[in-house]
Structure 1
Amino acid sequence: MGAARAWSPEQVRALGVTTDVVTAGSVLGIGRTTAYRLVRDNQFPVPVRRVGARYLVAVAHLLHAVGIDS
Structure 2
Amino acid sequence: MTTRELLELPPTTDLETAGRAFGIGRTTAYQLARKDQFPCEVVRAGRLFRVVTADMLRVLQVPSRLDAAPAA
Q: Please list every run of 5 or more consecutive structure 1 residues that lacks an aligned counterpart in the other structure.
A: 1-6
Alpha carbon RMSD of aligned pairs, Å? Answer: 0.9
Q: Secondary structure at the match of 1:50?
A: strand
Instruction: Answer with 1 or 2: which has the greater Rg.
Output: 2
Q: How many Å apart are 1:13 and its aligned residue?
A: 1.3
Distance in 2 separating the partners of 1:60 and 1:30: 18
2:33 counterpart (39, 51, 62): 39
**1:17-37, Cα deviation, whole Å (9 max, x unpaired):** 110011100001100000000
**Is 1:65 the equivalent of 2:59?**
yes
TM-score by length of 2: 0.82
Q: Secondary structure at the match of 2:18?
A: helix
Distance in 2 separating the partners of 1:42 and 1:62: 15
TM-score by length of 1: 0.84
Aligned to 1:11: 5
Distance in 2 separating the partners of 1:23 and 1:30: 9
Higher helix share: 2
Aligned length in residues = 64
Percent identity over the alignment is 42
